[in-house]
Structure 1
Amino acid sequence: MARRIIFLLFLIACVVDRSVNVHCEKQLVSSFDKHDNASSSLAELFSGKRIPLFRYITNKTSRLSTKAVQVGWDRGLQTSLYVISVGLGTPAKTQIVEIDTGSSTSWVFCECDGCHTNPRTFLQSRSTTCAKVSCGTSMCLLGGSDPHCQDSENYPDCPFRVSYQDGSASYGILYQDTLTFSDVQKIPGFSFGCNMDSFGANEFGNVDGLLGMGAGAMSVLKQSSPTFDCFSYCLPLQKSERGFFSKTTGYFSLGKVATRTDVRYTKMVARKKNTELFFVDLTAISVDGERLGLSPSIFSRKGVVFDSGSELSYIPDRALSVLSQRIRELLLRRGAAEEESERNCYDMRSVDEGDMPAISLHFDDGARFDLGSHGVFVERSVQEQDVWCLAFAPTESVSIIGSLMQTSKEVVYDLKRQLIGIGPSGAC
């Protein structure tokens, strides 16, 4: 199976971009599992490159831990996880983990009686650097779990629980161990959740866990600062059959900021009520160069985030109504046929690719991200006919710029300068 193929790899690290011009330094890496000949040889083949990132098709919605309203046709949509391979423990054991900028707590499936397992399940007892996080410690408090500790004398372990918008949840015990991206990119004493039980475990497909890249204190970037102060990724466009990884790969990079000229940036915005996410100050959306008639407050009220863990984009109902009406007018004028059975879905066989509506995002600091037609629609089979549906859904909570709108572009998180950037299409 193709999942066995990803089993493998990994190596290197080049990284990011940031404010003025940015790019991250490339660092060589070798294999994680020295005892696994297959993994070693594949890792060596990739040595000196960015960490490969794969698209994995599954059945899920947004995992953003902030509740969003889920309505309409997207409920049963087959969507994507974006995964990389990392090493965990000593000796490092390969873990295939989802990259999620919509949450901050990392976790993997661990050994325990009756737990969800696969051949790569993390075995705490075999790592010489693995240790439990105790109740009463600062890390247990940062993980938000210390108040749930019972009696630290009789029950010293620090529990964790993360619930996601799609209904799935992961919970167990906090541990610390060495997280490895490359031979020179290691985070010793990295705190993560050992999943002892979960709800909706099948929602996570065949991945080994999740890498929290959000803004919270438990996130990878916060735990590795100031050693690493930025990360970037490029999510691949190509789709693949369900349950398999795409032949085309993207990449993930972690490191120090360097200079680059083809990335545009907007500032991160702190919100007192939600410190787990990287917010941006979106003020307007334009379609084919014309701004929608919306007040900036419609987005600022709850905030806006980029989320690699949500394929669709979520915006307030009023904004979606105006956007969908503008899209409808343009498509009907260009020869699309409206689907009667599905709202905001169209048969676009008569629409040239160059006539697909293009979207730009405008921010309070004057930044503008031209996203083109990527992520505006998602293909779906309706009554044995291929149709295209608007890749947006309404929310009463945080607005989400989903992964579809980010595909093929380098997306940069510069923690030091507090900036998020997007490069031109074609980065992967």
Structure 2
Amino acid sequence: MKRKLPFVPILIFALVFLLINGYALSALAPLISVTLLPWLWIFPIALIAGFSFSLARLSVDGQTNLFKISAHALLVYFVSLLVFVLTEVLTDAYRLLIGVINYFSESNFVYPERPLIGVYLGISLVLVIVIAFVYGIFRGKYAYRVIKHTLYFDDLPDAFDGFKLAQISDVHAGSLTNPKAVQKGIDLINRQRADLFVFTGDLVNNKAEEVKPYINHFSQIKAPFGQFSVLGNHDYGDYVKWESDAAKRENLQQLKNYHAEIGFKLLLDEHVRLEKNGHKITLAGIENWGLGFGERGDLEKALRGTTKDEFKILLSHDPSHWEAQVKNHASKIHLTLAGHTHGMQFGIEAFGLKWSPVQFRYKHWAGVKKENNRFLNVNRGFGFIGFSGRVGIWPEITLIELRKTKANN
């Protein structure tokens, strides 16, 4: 079954895209020959046509190679185009300002010619963007890194002082294509020698069968206090068309079976207690709860049988759940572990900067946040989906050490 082509949105995008392209070509005019100019129109038109054609032939069950290639090419070109145009908009704003100053000082409005330094700067930035995308597509999506956090708690049970937990999220096994690279990520997880391992949802893109080739990889993950997991929004099969409701339910059950085969204990609105030297902490997990992505999870059910102040860690796929229900809950949840955002697989985290377009959707989208004396950690994801790459936001293995706050700290 083919998808219905969204004609109007594509037409609007194409018009805006070509308008921006025309503005960029006007800036490049002094540097390009007349014979080359038509080709600089043909290329973006061909990109849009190829993407539209591949989208029209796209089935509801998956992406074709043609769609992936055309979508990625269009994305790289469009982002590069926006970066170049931004430099030229700033240049034209400067030219306009000079013209206005001349008008008020000499009563003569003179719009200066565009300085070529702005064009050269734009071209240089485009080259950087293209190189970054090429790296992100071929290498960056498997460039696993460990991010370590040490979190302090006044009421952490003494036996758990120094307890370490490793977290990954958003494997999206259906997108993975390089088992050797994935194995390097698995080895990196095990080298952390964490006491506890947790996975915070989205093992697959749509169907349980996607994880079958990687069961032997993820089953290698071991921790002394166990391996625990929850489901994410993609795990329920909501984004593909099923022949029947029964087939969809069977798929979900099969995915749960695969969690067990891997060695992950699924927490479905429930909790377990971890014991060390006579002291205990509670680990709870809920089904996916996310604004706009299905509010299935039942926090009250997951906490049933726990006390208000016992030390609790919660696995909840979507960080919007923490904002909506967890951070001010009457029962103190000391640490919540989430994923879901992927950091949009695109952004900047360097030189003190932390930016991604996903911040316009999520208040907190990566790393640790503390509010109301409770912590949230959002993992940037182990895998990828949609865009088959990562630029600036690399795949993450989180290692969190729990520490007891000392009286003299």
Q: TM-score, normalised by structure 1?
A: 0.24
Larger Rg: 2
Higher relative contact order (CA 8 A, sep 6+): 1
Bigger fraction of residues in helix = 2
TM-score norm. by structure 2 comes to 0.25
